[in-house]
Structure 1
């Protein structure tokens, strides 16, 4: 996985914006204003993804590349390292899971706005 593939995959999703709310080094992808993926520009060898708490623990147990997210709530966020045995399709699936988890938590009105995007 590289940052260009990750960026292209994230911004192709409906309702996604990219922002720098934590400074010029941390690229944050949001859906309808809510974060689902973060990556450092100076060290783009991992990303932080939102995750269901039970699945977060399971992924950490199954993959040494997955750990509790640095500077994030470790119950709901994982750091996924791109250096190891993970393949891009697994990472893409986890990005999609993160995106969908955030959407599931949006208010009904915001979900209706998202549905209007092409």
Structure 2
């Protein structure tokens, strides 16, 4: 996976926006669904990206994949940093991003989730 594939996949999900929201970190690209972050990466290196995870699977993911590590800036209980070193197949990387997106959507208020579901139905 490269930065363009990562970006395209993230933006192909319903309700997703991209931004560089941290003035002190001008290279950090963040993807949000309805204002809630689900992944972020350094656009200059794309050496890794952060994903939201189920707390009960975080330790298992880190034990299974050497490239899945503790995040630098996020909660270690809910987030992982995925190193993009080619050791994890792209299919799995996309699954990680999809899970992160779905977990974020699941935590949105019901009214916003319903708006999101109906966005493309109009």
* Bin for the TM-score computed over the shorter chain: over 0.9
Number of aligned residue pairs: give it.
Answer: 118
Q: 1:13-52 maps to which residues of 2 (within 5 A)? A: 13-23=13-23, 24-52=26-54
Using the alignment, how far apart are the partners of 1:3 and 1:9 within structure 2?
Answer: 10
CA contact (8 A) 1:2 1:45 kept: no
**1:55: how far off?**
1.1
TM-score by length of 2: 0.93
Structure 2 residue runs without a partner (length 5+): none
1:86 to 51, 66, 88: 88
Q: CA RMSD in A?
A: 0.9
Scaled by the length of structure 1, the TM-score of the pair is 0.96
CA distance in 2, matches of 1:22, 1:49: 17
Kindly report structure 1 stretches of 4+ aligned residues shifted beyond 4 Å: none
2:60 — aligned with what? 58
Any unmatched runs of 5+ in structure 1? none
1:7 aligned residue: 7
